[in-house]
Structure 1
Amino acid sequence: LSMMCPTGEVCVYPEGVLCTTKLDVRFKGRPAHPTMSPHLGRNALACACTCVSELLGMARHGKGLGCINVGMMQAGEGRNVIPVHAQVQLEVRGETAEINDFMVDQANRIVKGTALAYDVDYEVEKVGEAGELNNDPELASLVTEVAGSLPSCERVVQHKKLGCSEDFTMLATRVKAAGGKSEFFVVGADRTAAHHQREFDFDEKGLETAFGIFKGCVLKLNGI
């Protein structure tokens, strides 16, 4: 159920499904008293702040859309101690795997560079990812046929821009590697607010359409 389609609409070939990589960055400095011995400290918080500014200002790729967002930063131990620990949670996205990898490489260089500048230790952990979406034409045709036969489906569109990432792509890659086929489609639903907002709610009529598509596809694939 998606932001890109209203209630009664189904999209068979969503476009703009972005590759993404989720990273956790941890900096470790050295504690010290900020007035008695500041020269002995290594400020992880200051390093993280500079790193975030550099990350948000990184160059984009000329071949397509590339995005970065830093969603969380935590740092420090106390008011009168040079901060020892800092953690940054971020994600990058790319219109293609090439662009996403470019964004990841840049992020890693920025983290390494700021850690070197502030003389702190660092580590980068990949905590999530999603890849490119490539639907199977045969399954897409099946979804088109089944959706078009449902009373709750008013309109079937082949292409529409989604503009986000979907971890279904990882499952699809595994299925294809094992000789299978995959199809990711979007069932529309009117919303009270955009995604990631507290007023968000969706029209549950879309659930009826989604169930009908899955049920119809299972029946046809089994010759019923």
Structure 2
Amino acid sequence: MTESGIAIDPTLVDVYKDLHRHPELGFQEHRTAAIVAERIRASGFEVTAGIGKTGVVGVLKNGTGPTVLLRADMDALPLREDTGLDYASTATATNEGGDTVPVAHACGHDLHVTCLLGAARILASDASGWTGTVLLAFQPAEELGEGAQAMVDDGLFDRFPKPDVVLGQHVAPLPAGKIGGHPGPSYAGSDSLRVRLVGRGAHGSMPEASVDPVVLAAATVLRLQTVISREIPSTATAVLTVGAIHAGDAANVIPGHAEIRLNIRSYDTAVRRRVLDSVERIVRGEAATAGAPEEPTITEIERFPVVANDPEALSRSLAAFASWLGPDDILDPGAGAGSEDVGILATESGAALAYWLLGGADPSLFTTGDMTDPALLTVPSNHSPRYAPVIEPTLPIGVRALVSAARTWLPHR
């Protein structure tokens, strides 16, 4: 398998299909980590496993020069795959709550891992052509928003060389053969919250004896919808989504409490703070108006910081891609509302970040092939049960992208 003159390990397709068949949840990536460790050790890297619980680090020192960190996330989602592929996942796992759930690589992390394995082998086999250090970070638990920080807290930048640049990619529902990158804030910060509203339960026939948390939750949800439309400037960008409401178990019983789960996306720290403050004000205000017997509680479930690409670092990578892929296949997708924790690796190390989108959708589904293409709204996207990148040409291009981006930082001998 080749892409732009680069020989790609022919076993990578089998590796990818195997990883796809055997997905693992965050901090449970033991099988994946073992495969990663074995393959990068065989490529010549010094390997340390168990960084941040299940993360794997590979180091290849090759003389003096900068340190380039290449990152791939490994975890999958608690979701039942519906792609119809002959290598589709039928795996299950036990989640943090002790429940058995289906698991699938519906976000493409299996492809990220495979691409980095291929890039590692190429860089190691061509070590006579560059100097410096290549640092591989196979990261757990990106979907939980905890994996990058777990690796940092476990000494990633104390025990291993500190990078000058962090490079990575995420497969996306762009046409395969395209790569997209946006300078500056590129992926939104995300705050997920759990709100517990306390009422007073009663028989459904005696609502006057209750403080109905269902009505309280409904009023709170409606009021929360005004935060973005009435409290955030029209020139700013933010999203507030209520994704879950749980209250009661019977039609004729007014329950004692209700739970709301919501998610906030933002790019600016001041906007984020204003939205969070507004959420707290509304939740507490609605509870007071309803006469709730207890204060509501607001608990953070997870948080992703804003991912900000270093403009110069990203420009260097995209220029390298354009030299072999072609300038017409390099897109600026703008800032996306999706979230990632890769930025933690850059901010914690002080390194520049270049993070791009790797097209993975069937090109035949698109007409214009750019960011105006209507197919972008209809092709299965990440986190869909039907999401699955096409292997060709996505895999070889992903390998080539990581290699060429690394080589823009590693001096030639």
Which residue in 2 is equivalent to 1:115? Answer: 287
TM-score by length of 1: 0.82
1:193 equivalent in alignment to 2:363: no
1:160 equivalent in alignment to 2:333: yes
State the Cα deviation string for residues 129-168 of structure 1 (Å, max 9, x = none): 22333222443244224423445996224x3314313223
Q: Do the aligned partners of 2:180 and 2:358 also contact (CA within 8 Å) in 1?
A: yes
Q: Do the aligned partners of 1:150 and 1:212 also contact (CA within 8 Å) in 2?
A: no
1:61 equivalent in alignment to 2:228: no
| Cα distance change, pair 64–180 in 1 and its aligned pair in 2 (3 A) | same
Q: CA deviation at 1:70?
A: 0.8
Which residue in 1 is equivalent to 2:46? Answer: none
| Cα distance change, pair 175–201 in 1 and its aligned pair in 2 (3 A) | closer
| Cα distance change, pair 23–13 in 1 and its aligned pair in 2 (3 A) | same
Q: CA deviation at 1:16?
A: 5.3
Which residue in 2 is equivalent to 1:176? Answer: 347
| Cα distance change, pair 152–8 in 1 and its aligned pair in 2 (3 A) | farther
Q: CA deviation at 1:75?
A: 0.5
1:34 equivalent in alignment to 2:204: yes
Which residue in 2 is equivalent to 1:92? Answer: 264
Q: Do the aligned partners of 2:307 and 2:340 also contact (CA within 8 Å) in 1?
A: no
Trace 1:18-33 onto structure 2 (pairs within 5 A): 18-33=188-203
Higher relative contact order (CA 8 A, sep 6+): 1
Which residue in 2 is equivalent to 1:43? Answer: 212
Which residue in 2 is equivalent to 1:213? Answer: 401
State the Cα deviation string for residues 25-44 of structure 1 (Å, max 9, x = none): 11122222233x54332211
**Letter aligned with residue 17 of structure 1:** Y
Pick one of 136, 144, 154 that aligns with 2:310. 136
Unaligned 5+ runs, structure 1: none
> C-alpha separation between the residues in 2 aligned to 1:202 and 1:177?
31
Q: Is 193-202 or 101-110 further displaced after alignment? A: 193-202
> C-alpha separation between the residues in 2 aligned to 1:220 and 1:95?
29
> C-alpha separation between the residues in 2 aligned to 1:166 and 1:137?
19
State the Cα deviation string for residues 102-147 of structure 1 (Å, max 9, x = none): 2221111111111112223311111122233322244324422442
Q: Is 114-123 or 142-151 further displaced after alignment? A: 142-151
Q: Secondary structure at the match of 1:72?
A: strand
Which residue in 2 is equivalent to 1:148? Answer: 322
* CA-atom RMSD in angstroms: 2.7
Q: Do the aligned partners of 1:8 and 1:154 also contact (CA within 8 Å) in 2?
A: no
| Cα distance change, pair 10–180 in 1 and its aligned pair in 2 (3 A) | same
Q: Secondary structure at the match of 1:185?
A: strand
> C-alpha separation between the residues in 2 aligned to 1:172 and 1:162?
14
Q: Do the aligned partners of 1:12 and 1:185 also contact (CA within 8 Å) in 2?
A: yes
**Letter aligned with residue 352 of structure 2:** K
> C-alpha separation between the residues in 2 aligned to 1:98 and 1:206?
38
| Cα distance change, pair 193–199 in 1 and its aligned pair in 2 (3 A) | farther
Which residue in 2 is equivalent to 1:124? Answer: 298
> C-alpha separation between the residues in 2 aligned to 1:167 and 1:105?
23
State the Cα deviation string for residues 31-82 of structure 1 (Å, max 9, x = none): 22233x5433221111111111111233241131222111111101322221
Q: CA deviation at 1:220?
A: 5.1
Q: CA deviation at 1:219?
A: 4.7
1:17 equivalent in alignment to 2:187: yes
> C-alpha separation between the residues in 2 aligned to 1:17 and 1:185?
10
Trace 1:72-87 onto structure 2 (pairs within 5 A): 72-87=244-259
> C-alpha separation between the residues in 2 aligned to 1:77 and 1:145?
57
> C-alpha separation between the residues in 1 aligned to 2:271 and 2:380?
26
Pick one of 185, 203, 207 that aligns with 2:390. 203
> C-alpha separation between the residues in 1 aligned to 2:403 and 2:324?
11
1:105 equivalent in alignment to 2:282: no
| Cα distance change, pair 38–26 in 1 and its aligned pair in 2 (3 A) | same
